[in-house]
Amino acid sequence: MDLATVIGIVVAFALVFLSIVMGSGLGVFVDYPSIMIVMGGTLGATMINHPLKEVFSVFNVAKHCFFTKPWNSSEIIPMFIELANKARKEGILALESELGNIDDEFLAKGLQLAIDGIEPDSIREILETEVEYLEERHRTGGEIMNTMATFFPAMGMIGTLIGLVQMLQTMSDPSTIGPAMAVALLTTFYGAIGANLLCIPMAGKLRKRSKEETAIKEMIICGIMAIAGGDNPRIIEQKLLVFVPPNSRQSAFK
């Protein structure tokens, strides 16, 4: 679980709610018509903007903000060195026994292609195509979040206009001014909360996750191509260290 996402959401909402409770009380900021306008309007507008399948998939995409743990380069490099040593000593077919111990489907697929004797150029083409479609799926999820971030404040503004119209139409009855004004102001509040505390930060985290996952997969492709080409483990390590920041590079060969 990504603690930064969880802590960020908890802290942001906790401080907002705490300031509300200290000022007046939480009940004052709960208005069901305002919630219906903002949530319903945002969901409906998002469905108009995107296919229904993509809208429903946003929940699975959002999970990457909380539960995705990208591989660490310090785990990948020693693994490839070990695989390269075994391939050089026993032949690349010996790596088939290691496939059951690999949880990552992308890595297992790449190794299987190398074991099957596929041409290196074909292996690279297949794996890079998969990375391209992965980026496209991530891009779609980020676009939906950005779309919702755009519609949340817009729906809040629509709710504000509705509340103001209702208030102006009933100015002769002072008892109706308060509820109408509540709708006018709370819709803007809900829209700002939904956009700035949820959608925009989560879209940013998804972009970060996508870049991290893409970089790891590029690193895996480089390692698989090196093994398929029969490179020396020391050379494979140097190729993979290119993906690691200079201040974090550590060689297993002294």
Write the pLDDT tens digit of every residue in 139-150.
Answer: 888 888 899 999
Residues 88 and 1 in one domain: no
Residues 112 and 48 in one domain: yes
Helices 105-115, 200-228: inter-axial angle, 10-degree rounding: 20
Count of domains forming the chain = 2
**21 and 40 share one domain:** no
* Distance of alpha carbon 163 from alpha carbon 200, whole angstroms: 26
- For residues 94 and 170, membership in a common domain is answered with yes
Please, what is the average pLDDT of the chain?
A: 85
Cα angle: 93, vertex 99, 100; to 5 degrees: 135
Angle at 137 between CA 135 and CA 142, to 5 degrees: 90
Query: Do 85 and 18 belong together in one domain?
Result: no
23 lies in the same domain as 96: no
23 and 138 both lie in a single domain: no
Region 32-43: mean pLDDT is: 90
| C-alpha torsion sign, points 67, 73, 74, 78 | positive
Name the amino acid, one letter, at 126.
Answer: I
Q: Lowest-pLDDT range, 76-85, 126-135, 163-172, 186-195?
A: 163-172
Q: The domain containing residue 19 runs over which residues? A: 1-28
Report which listed range, 19-33, 96-110, 171-185, is most confident: 96-110
Specify which of 18-32, 88-102, 217-231 reaches the highest per-range mean pLDDT: 217-231
Burial class (CB in 10 A: 0-12, 13-18, 19+), 80: buried
Other Cβ atoms less than 10 A from the Cβ of 14: the count is: 10
pLDDT score for 58: 77
Same domain, 9 and 67: no
Q: Which of 110-124, 129-143, 168-182 has the lowest mean pLDDT?
A: 168-182
Residues 210 and 95 in one domain: yes
Mean pLDDT of 116-122: 87
- Provide the token pair at 177: 């001014």
Q: What percent of the chain is modeled with pLDDT above 90?
A: 21
2 and 112 inside one domain? no
User: Side chain identity at 42, as an amino acid letter?
Assistant: T
Please state, in angstroms and rounded to a whole number, the distance separating the CA atoms of residues 132 and 134. Answer: 5
Q: Are residues 78 and 65 in the same domain?
A: yes
- Angle 246-251-252 (CA atoms, 0-180°, nearest 5)? 160
pLDDT at residue 207 above 70?
A: yes
Chain mean position to CA 117: 35
pTM: 0.79
- Predicted local distance difference test score (pLDDT) of residue 171: 73
Q: What local confidence, expressed as pLDDT, does residue 150 receive?
A: 93
Residues 18, 116, single domain; the answer is no
pLDDT of residue 196: 92
247: which 2 tokens?
Answer: 């201040």
User: Are 241 and 67 within 8 A, CB to CB?
Assistant: no
Q: Taking the CA of residue 12 as centre, how many other CA atoms within 13 Å lie in the half-sphere pointing to its CB?
A: 14
Residue found by looking up tokens 């690691």 in the block: 244
Q: How many CB atoms lie within 10 A of CB 87?
A: 22
Distance separating alpha carbons of residues 134 and 140, to the nearest angstrom: 10
